[in-house]
Amino acid sequence: MDHSTTALLTDRYELTMVRGALASGTAARRAVFEVFARHLPAGRRYGVVAGIGRFLDALEAYRFDDPALEFLISHGIVDEPTASWLSSYRFSGDIWGYGEGDLYFPGSPILVVEAGFADAVILETLALSTLNHDTAIASAASRMVHAAAGRPIIEMGSRRTHEMAGVAAARAAYLAGFTSTSNLEAGRTYGVPTAGTSAHAFTLLHDGERNAFRAQLDALGKETTLLVDTYDVARAVAVAVELAGPGLGAVRLDSGDLAETAHEVRAQLDGLGAEKTRIIVTGDLDEYAIAGLASAPVDGYGVGTSLVTGSGAPTAALVYKLVARAESEDGPLRPVAKRSVGKPSRGGRKWGVRHLGEDGKAIAEVVSTSEPDPGPHDRSLLTPLVRDGEIIGREPVAAARARHERAMAELPPRAFQLSRGDPAVPTDFR
Amino acid sequence: MDHSTTALLTDRYELTMVRGALASGTAARRAVFEVFARHLPAGRRYGVVAGIGRFLDALEAYRFDDPALEFLISHGIVDEPTASWLSSYRFSGDIWGYGEGDLYFPGSPILVVEAGFADAVILETLALSTLNHDTAIASAASRMVHAAAGRPIIEMGSRRTHEMAGVAAARAAYLAGFTSTSNLEAGRTYGVPTAGTSAHAFTLLHDGERNAFRAQLDALGKETTLLVDTYDVARAVAVAVELAGPGLGAVRLDSGDLAETAHEVRAQLDGLGAEKTRIIVTGDLDEYAIAGLASAPVDGYGVGTSLVTGSGAPTAALVYKLVARAESEDGPLRPVAKRSVGKPSRGGRKWGVRHLGEDGKAIAEVVSTSEPDPGPHDRSLLTPLVRDGEIIGREPVAAARARHERAMAELPPRAFQLSRGDPAVPTDFR
């Protein structure tokens, strides 16, 4: 696969629409598209915006090079005038978005794209793919982080999802508060701290668990984490402390009744003088299992499958809709909306403001079709990402991580219930 | 992101295990790892193997280049001897696998990797990521194709999943019998036929639906598919046929009660003399909704979200386990297995045979730890993919698509029930 351009990460109909609009003389009409969710995943009380930074990276690489154009022409997807238009395509409009890591609710205008129609329509799939995936993962991750109540969580789900989705998932989990990831490419590309020591295979490779532990301690030092459930946990813990001494970093449990086993292992470790040796638990954990282990003597969690699959909501249901357009390149914008049964859209370019009370807690998500006048405690949610085609909204993942923490502090307590419920903050359309 | 190598699409613990094994002198011990599923997704009656071809591509690109090594060393993940070993890493062992598109059941040895321990352990995440994702998608796709009973299905889920996962999903859906995809990169990279014409935005862009339809017909010809549910379906259908004539290719319905609307539209089209104009339906379809539309006058389906999320099972739960190893580079293999509570593994290198009756229907999935002696109607399931490090198992996606169709023909009728049930073919461990 040619990775040098993201141009073909596009649905065919976007290019046939460009073709049609070029032919009908409407391609340059000024237009506003918005990304929003009609609803949160069933029962979720808030969502976490993620993927903004990745979308900007993908936008920068969005160029129709010769091999891409050749494919499109030879398959009759575009005609020569459209190919010519695509060959010089550079997004030249403006984009605003919610800050990455911020929260969203039904109707929040997460991304606002203003440009010529053809300029903007072509980005639908690229924007939705990056945002839908990362938002789904970050939204699940945030609940897990809250359930863990300050205990660290390692992301380790790469093996359960597409190999590139795993990298993005590690990034999304980190910005939502996970501590580290098993995924090395996420470490290199996004600076997410990486973690991991050994699997059962390492124990099985050696002639006995004792030899495996000794090999790992020799190579990685006594601060390492030893996996103790390959054969018999109690015997493994005894051998681990015997070899490493009471300064052993951690032991990992990956099977059985994790709460009960953690209590037993904690007592055993304490009895051996290894009071500071941590207990890490892994194995099909999700936010509910993490919450269920709150009273167990656990020092950290590893989460895989449920993280990369969004814990029951693997996509965020974000859509990209035309909400306003002019009758010319620079005429006044007029709201447009479809009337499809059950899927109506709200016309008009929108702004988002989080209306906060004097206590700093969110009262409403105010979505308005005219520029807002935020009160003293309110927070405007849209920030400029692209201006006249130039990307100006880049930031390190650490900034998104910090924003998420601040945004979470604004939520009312009901937002943190894991049970199904309505959005914790109602959307007020104006 | 540096896409020139797949080496860092790896979990950190694989490299620390290599480091430990190099230090303890066990890295070259001959080892066999297997990919298998302990269970199918809840209630599923069969699974579809996919991702084999993509895994082979990723394996070919699995090289630790200087930037990757620099990252690993500077972050203290590997030491100098390990970095040196990685720098010359080329997989040099043997791999066998189920043919892509074939079916699998609990315990089927989908992939068998035989090599030195370090050579093989390092591939865990790469193998599982590609196989878990693609297998989950193909398994869901196959049920949809069966439910569609010969009517074509367009894959259009790219926007609901990670941008690269979308390309892989289109490939997986196609090999399981989907007709085409909206994803252009899947068209270019894998030769999957592409489809798509317009969205509601195209209608909203124009001054009235009539102008939008005329623009699309001018650009794409009367064989195109017009989207008729932006405002009023009946009025749109009338305008569509008025403009295109009775030779209009198709109309698309994306909202409302699809069965009822399809009946109304069919009657209207027939009344207008457009008996051959097809009706395509889209909008949150899954295998159950498709089955529910069997008696409606529908000519084709478009499926997005439920396809790319595996219709409730977004990952296939495949694991990669050490099942045998020698005490030296070329000594005899000995079965190994962990005894973790609830997650035991079965030791020993395995073979898979589909035991078929005289009627050609599958009776059992025979998984044995000694080389099988298939009966006259039986089918051996493992094929060589890599020999002494050389990839020999490449094939076009069309071959996998044909294999899937053949394998489906071997299933007993109970396999095709959409309701939850046990695997349609029991696994017989020998």
- Cβ–Cβ gap A184/B129 under 8 Å: no
- Cβ–Cβ gap B17/A130 under 8 Å: no
Side chain identity at residue B22, one-letter code: L
Q: What angle do CA A41, B140, B404 make, to 5 degrees?
A: 165
**Span(s) in chain B for CATH 3.20.20.70:** 150-311
Average pLDDT for runs of 10 along chain A of length 430: 78 98 97 97 96 98 97 98 98 98 98 98 98 98 98 98 98 98 98 98 97 98 98 98 98 97 98 98 97 98 98 97 95 90 82 97 97 94 98 98 98 96 96
Q: How far apart are CA A158 and CA B11, in angstroms?
A: 8
- Cβ–Cβ gap B19/A341 under 8 Å: no
In chain B, what residues touch A206 (CB-CB under 8 Å)? 24, 26
DSSP assignment letter at A104:
E
Q: How far apart are CA A316 and CA A38, in angstroms?
A: 10
In chain A, what residues touch B1 (CB-CB under 8 Å)? 167, 185, 189
**Number of inter-chain CB pairs under 8 A, A vs B:** 367
How many other CB atoms sit within 10 Å of the CB of residue B420?
A: 10
Name the minimum distance, in Å, from the CA of A69 to any CA of chain B. Answer: 11
How many other CB atoms sit within 10 Å of the CB of residue B284?
A: 15
Residue B338: pLDDT band with limits 50, 70, 90: confident
Q: What is the pLDDT of residue B64?
A: 98
The CA-based dihedral angle spanning residues B154, B160, B166, B172, taken in that order and rounded to the nearest 10 degrees: -50
- The SS3 assignment for A60 reads helix
**Span(s) in chain B for CATH 3.20.140.10:** 12-137+313-429
CB A107, CB A346: distance < 8 Å? yes
Nearest to residue B405, comparing CAs of B103, B50, B164, B181? B103
Whether residue B195 is predicted with pLDDT greater than 90 in this model: the reply is yes
- Cβ–Cβ gap A159/B130 under 8 Å: no
CB B251, CB B266: distance < 8 Å? no
- The SS3 assignment for A412 reads coil
Name the minimum distance, in Å, from the CA of B389 to any CA of chain A. Answer: 22
- Cβ–Cβ gap A219/B320 under 8 Å: no
Q: How far apart are CA B57 and CA B250, in angstroms?
A: 38
In chain B, what residues touch A197 (CB-CB under 8 Å)? 13, 16
Dihedral over Cα of B391, B392, B393, B399: its sign? positive
- Cβ–Cβ gap B162/A185 under 8 Å: no
**Interacting residues of A194 by C-beta distance below 8 A, sequence separation 6+:** A180, A181, A182, A183, A184, A186, A187, B12, B75, B77
pLDDT in tens, B150-159: 999 999 999 9
Q: What is the pLDDT of residue B342?
A: 74
Q: Which CATH number fits domain B150-311: 3.20.20.150, 3.20.20.70, 3.90.1150.10, 3.40.50.2300?
A: 3.20.20.70
| Mean pLDDT value across residues B18-41 | 97
Mutate which: A18, A57, A159, vs B, most B CBs within 10 A:
A159
Whether residue B212 is predicted with pLDDT greater than 80 in this model: the reply is yes
CB B213, CB B222: distance < 8 Å? no
CB A102, CB A383: distance < 8 Å? no
Q: How far apart are CA B129 and CA A100, in angstroms?
A: 26
Q: How far apart are CA B165 and CA B391, in angstroms?
A: 24
In chain B, what residues touch A15 (CB-CB under 8 Å)? 184
- Cβ–Cβ gap A327/B214 under 8 Å: no
Residue B344: pLDDT band with limits 50, 70, 90: low
Q: What is the pLDDT of residue A3?
A: 52
What pTM did the predictor assign?
0.98
- Cβ–Cβ gap A188/B8 under 8 Å: yes
Mutate which: B85, B205, B214, vs A, most A CBs within 10 A:
B205
Name the minimum distance, in Å, from the CA of B240 to any CA of chain A. Answer: 16
Side chain identity at residue B418, one-letter code: L
Strands A153-155 and A180-181: parallel
Name the minimum distance, in Å, from the CA of A7 to any CA of chain B. Answer: 8
Nearest-CB residue to A161 (from B184, B185, B315): B315
Mutate which: B129, B135, B167, B286, vs A, most A CBs within 10 A:
B129
Strands B318-325 and B334-335: antiparallel
Whether residue B1 is predicted with pLDDT greater than 50 in this model: the reply is no
Whether residue B3 is predicted with pLDDT greater than 90 in this model: the reply is no
**Interacting residues of A325 by C-beta distance below 8 A, sequence separation 6+:** A29, A30, A31, A32, A117, A333, A334, A336, B204, B205
- Cβ–Cβ gap A321/B201 under 8 Å: yes
Q: What is the pLDDT of residue B197?
A: 97
Nearest-CB residue to B19 (from A72, A219, A345): A219
What contacts 24+ positions apart, CB below 8 Å, involve A26-29? A26/A117, A26/B205, A26/B206, A26/B215, A27/A85, A27/A116, A27/A117, A27/A118, A28/A116, A28/A117, A28/A118, A28/A328, A28/A329, A29/A116, A29/A117, A29/A325, A29/A326, A29/A327, A29/A328, A29/A329, A29/A331, A29/B205
- The SS3 assignment for B324 reads strand
Whether residue B192 is predicted with pLDDT greater than 70 in this model: the reply is yes
Q: Which CATH number fits domain B12-137+313-429: 3.20.140.10, 3.30.70.260, 1.25.40.80, 1.10.3720.10?
A: 3.20.140.10
Q: What is the pLDDT of residue A301?
A: 98
- A134, A161, B41 from A169: Cα distances, Å: 6, 9, 22
How many other CB atoms sit within 10 Å of the CB of residue B57?
A: 15
How many other CB atoms sit within 10 Å of the CB of residue B242?
A: 12
- Cβ–Cβ gap A322/B126 under 8 Å: no
CB B289, CB B259: distance < 8 Å? no
Q: How far apart are CA B248 and CA B37, in angstroms?
A: 48
Residue B116: pLDDT band with limits 50, 70, 90: very high
Name the minimum distance, in Å, from the CA of A127 to any CA of chain B. Answer: 8
- Cβ–Cβ gap B216/A20 under 8 Å: yes
Beta bridge partners of B352: B367
CB B381, CB B362: distance < 8 Å? no
Q: How far apart are CA B175 and CA B359, in angstroms?
A: 25
- Cβ–Cβ gap B201/A17 under 8 Å: yes
- Cβ–Cβ gap A254/B132 under 8 Å: no
Nearest CA in chain B to A70: B188
Beta bridge partners of A302: A154
Name the minimum distance, in Å, from the CA of B359 to any CA of chain A. Answer: 37
Q: How far apart are CA B370 and CA B351, in angstroms?
A: 7
